[in-house]
Amino acid sequence: MMTDFTGEHTWLQAQHELSLRKLIENSEYQEELKYDFNTKGQLRHLDTNEPFLYNYYKNAHEQNHKRYQVLGHLITQYVYELLERVCMLQKAYIPTDAKEDEPRSFFFMSENALRSSSLIVLLQDCGVFRAGQWGQRTIVSEGLEHGTQIPFIQKALQNHGGVIVLNPNDSFVDLKADKERLSCPTPEESLTSTQSTGWIPKQGSSNPEEHTMYVWDHFISKSAAKNVAFIAHGYGGLVFVDLLVQRKQEVMDKVYSVAFIDSTHNTQHQARSDPQIQAWIQKYCRQWVSNSKPLDKPVGSLMRVNCPTVSAGTEKYGLAPSYCLHAIFRYLKSTLKAKTTPALRHSPVVTRSSTSKKRGNK
């Protein structure tokens, strides 16, 4: 059963004050893309109220794909606006020492992110989508509440202090066309991009691993937060484990919990059989996977994951983040409480008999 977010997230009303249509009107596809998000955050045709139609041109796959790419690029700009104007996040450009004419990437963070005692970091899958999105196809087919990270951001801001929204797929730029690359490059493309395609990597963000490492080294590790949690989806889980391997002690000291969602990480391969890392992942991480079982029900352990694994409550990969949102925050709340109240867990229980014994010994 699909979760109803409209009563809980007032941001859906606020987002309607912004308009995807205004962005579309400034493009070359005004007639081909007569769409906007309604008050429920669903993408609908302005005349027919129908969901998005991919095959707009008959027997013209390339044209339809280009049209979809343009829509995806405009949705990216729209979600960026939501992050800044609805979630009140700030854009932070990297590298911090970039020259004026140097291509830069960026990510988003709350105003108090670097001063807060606790911090939640969102790390998405690899693909065409950018910061603030779990999946572009999900936004188009299911709506903003399922495809964007905004419900997670709002929940984190309400209960967990600061938020950092990474932008790991914002890796390349085409200087000739002066526009952003619309997809996450493969390793092969990354190696040949400067010679054959004209796409050049952004310093400090040429791939998701480098982007995450840069933000960790220059922002997260230097923040006041003693309690950091990651929520990592798909390839983002592999990226986090890479960070854990590269910055082992720093991450273990600062990160109190990780919620993986359909993560593609491989503990056995990435950790190079490091027993300390494997033990840390087993203790401080949990994985939610797309599965037919009810939400939070145990699922057969995956050897490559090496941590407790439970169902996300849906078999659809694109819906997994939104379906397990509340379960993830319950988990993070309990793990943070366990970390910050060790004295209560280890202190002896005071009873009447123990009190009378103390008096008798005086």
Q: 341-356 burial by CB neighbour count: b if 16+ within 10 A, else e?
A: eeeeeeeeeeeeeeee
The predicted structure's pLDDT at residue 284: 96
- Structural domain boundaries of the chain? 89-361
* Residue 130: per-residue pLDDT: 95
For 153, counting Cβ atoms within 10 Å of its Cβ (0-12 exposed, 13-18 middle, 19+ buried), the class is buried
Residue type, 287: Q
The model carries a pTM of: 0.85
Could you tell me the CA-to-CA distances from 46 to 39, 42, 74, 184 in Å, in that order? 13, 12, 16, 31
pLDDT of residue 13: 61
**pLDDT score recorded for residue 347:** 47
Q: Distance between CA atoms of 233 and 287, rounded to whole angstroms?
A: 10
Q: Which residues pair with 109 in a beta bridge?
A: 90, 164
| Cα distances (angstroms) measured from residue 277 to each of 233, 241, 252, 280 | 20, 9, 9, 5
Q: Is 308 exposed, middle or buried (0-12, 13-18, 19+ CB in 10 A)?
A: middle
Phi, psi of 131 (to 5 degrees): -50, 135
Cα–Cα distance for residue pair 263/248, rounded to 1 Å: 19
State the pLDDT at residue 220.
Answer: 98
Omega of the bond leading into 95 within 30 degrees of 0 (cis): yes
Question: Rounded distance, CA 330 to CA 338, Å?
Answer: 12
| pLDDT confidence of residue 12 | 65
Q: Please list the pLDDT of the chain residue by residue as tens digits (362 residues).
A: 333 344 455 666 666 567 788 888 888 888 899 999 998 999 999 999 999 999 999 989 999 999 999 999 999 999 999 999 999 999 999 999 888 778 889 999 999 999 999 999 999 999 989 999 999 999 999 999 999 999 999 999 988 789 999 999 998 876 554 444 444 444 334 433 344 456 788 888 889 999 999 999 999 999 999 999 999 999 999 999 999 999 999 999 999 999 999 999 888 778 777 899 999 999 999 999 999 999 999 998 676 778 999 999 999 999 999 999 999 999 999 999 988 876 444 545 444 444 444 444 44
Question: Could you confirm whether domain 89-361 is CATH 3.40.50.1820?
Answer: yes
Instruction: Give the pLDDT score at 15.
Output: 63
